[in-house]
Amino acid sequence: MTTLTVNGVDHRLDLDDARVTLLDALRDRLGLTGTKKGCDQGACGACTVMADGKRILSCLTLAAQCEGREIITIEGLGVDGVLHPMQEAFVRHDAFQCGYCTSGQIMSAVCLLAEGRAGSDADIREFMSGNLCRCGAYPNIVAAIREVAGAGGGHA
């Protein structure tokens, strides 16, 4: 049995197969399908979640390695049904189209602020470049992050 702590809740998981990634555990075993799979190869950022406050690619992380780590997913970002400022800004700036990259972009953006790397548009662009958006919403993603960074960043 492995215990995964996700969004503040402990889940006891019978990981019968050592190959199960954190991404598949979240999606298939815990029903948290907000975290997306775009490549399963660490190349797109769609699966980005927070582990102990840092952004990680959940497709490159085995679930069995996550015992004792504090995992936050997109479902755990808002508090009591109120959107996180970054989520709000993404809606207002239309920082997505199909929405498939969005969970990963938002998790990455929230961590970006915590990393102190959202000081300039150039920094935002550079340090958000691990999150692909095939719909091409990049300018609006930058605008959303810029706005939240300017307002002091919101809670992480």
Contact residues toward other proteins (CB under 8 A) are 17, 19-20, 24, 27-28, 32-44, 46, 73-75, 77-78, 83, 87-88, 90-92, 94, 96-103, 106, 121, 124-126, 128-142
Q: Is the dihedral of CA 28, 131, 69, 152 positive or negative?
A: negative
Element holding 87 (H helix, E strand): helix 85-92
Site for ligand FES in 93-122 (CB under 6 A): 96-102
Q: What is the largest CA-CA distance in the chain?
A: 46
> Is 56 a residue that touches ligand FES (CB under 6 A)?
no
What whole-number distance in Å separates Cα of residue 55 and Cα of residue 58? 9
Among 50, 133, 144, 145, binds ligand FES (CB under 6 A): 133
Token pair 């979640």 is at which residue? 49
**Residues 11-50: x where in contact with ligand FES by CB under 6 A, - otherwise, as a string:** --------------------------xxxx-xxxxxx---
